[in-house]
Amino acid sequence: MPQQKITFGEMRTAGVRGVLVYCSDYQCSHSMAVLADRWGDDLRLSDIEPRLVCTACGKRGADVRPDFNWHIKSPIGGMGYR
């Protein structure tokens, strides 16, 4: 069983609006900041991980973590979501 993470609703309650997405391939180690508004409050961060595709290497699957520094950045594109 994959590790369960907090929901987007819980994350937004904590004042975090974005996530950091890390490629699951350590040799790629691509990461990007993604605005989380598109995902519903009931979804867990771990729920979308298998559905993300790395824009750098094309590998499916990622590690998603709350971006607690979101407010000091601006959105920079997004990771492919299907």
Tell me whether residue 16 or residue 54 sits nearer to Zn ion (CB atom): 54
Minimum distance of Zn ion from residue 60's CB (angstroms)? 10
Tell me whether residue 46 or residue 55 sits nearer to Zn ion (CB atom): 55
Tell me whether residue 12 or residue 59 sits nearer to Zn ion (CB atom): 59
CA dist 23 and 1 (Å) reads 19
Minimum distance of Zn ion from residue 10's CB (angstroms)? 27
Q: Give CA angle at 1 (22, 81), nearest 5°.
A: 40
Residue ranges binding Zn ion (CB under 5 A):
23, 25, 28, 30, 54, 56-57, 59
